[in-house]
Amino acid sequence: MPPAPRWSRETIPLPKHGLRVAVVADTHSHPHRLALPMIASHHPDMILHAGDIGKLHVLDSLSEIAPLISVRGNIDDRGSGLPDFVTIDVMTGDDIRSRWLLTHIAVNGPKLKGPIRKLAKEQDVQLVVCGHSHVPLIVRDGNVGVFNPGSIGPRRFTLPITFGMIELSETGLRLNHYCCETGEPWRPPGMH
């Protein structure tokens, strides 16, 4: 019988200027050589790592840029103490402005897996942030946004090497991908 998943809950105050969160996943011990300076150039208030970290020194490098919240991926050791799920409440005063769920494996193609969909509904989550597939993804599944930043680790097949940015302001939530090799915004081929 597999061990019960580990949970964590984080609270982030929403700054008056808005919140800028860099999102990475699937570093597999070797982030792209340009990833960290490119992430730093976006001046994030926080960084989320959606698992498959590999060697934990990767987290040290990221946390030098901004405060870091991370989860364990399927290649990461359970002994690392990393949670499997983190619920993140972005707060304006005493009010929850937005609630996110950070985990590693959450989707099957563009849809949330059944248990994650159920969990997102139970937790009243607006956004699920995940990794695992190395495929950059921004979709809606019902009332829940789904964001996979892609991977900043070693290239898999012909997939791009990307990270994501979440920006939350008075006007709402904006999600984007950036190419680690060029620094330019990344869009799927054929989308401009």
pTM of structure? 0.96
With a cut of 60, say whether residue 192 has pLDDT above it: no
With a cut of 70, say whether residue 190 has pLDDT above it: no
Query: What's the pLDDT score for residue 86?
Result: 97
* Structure confidence by residue, pLDDT tens digits, 174-189: 999 999 999 999 988 7
2 or 55, higher pLDDT: 55
Which residues make Cβ contacts (< 8 Å) with residue 165, sequence separation at least 6? Answer: 20, 21, 22, 23, 42, 44, 174, 175, 176, 177, 178
- What is the C-alpha separation between 156 and 176, in angstroms, rounded? 21
* Structure confidence by residue, pLDDT tens digits, 131-146: 999 999 999 999 999 9
Question: Could you tell me if 50 and 131 are in contact, meaning their C-beta atoms sit under 8 angstroms apart?
Answer: yes
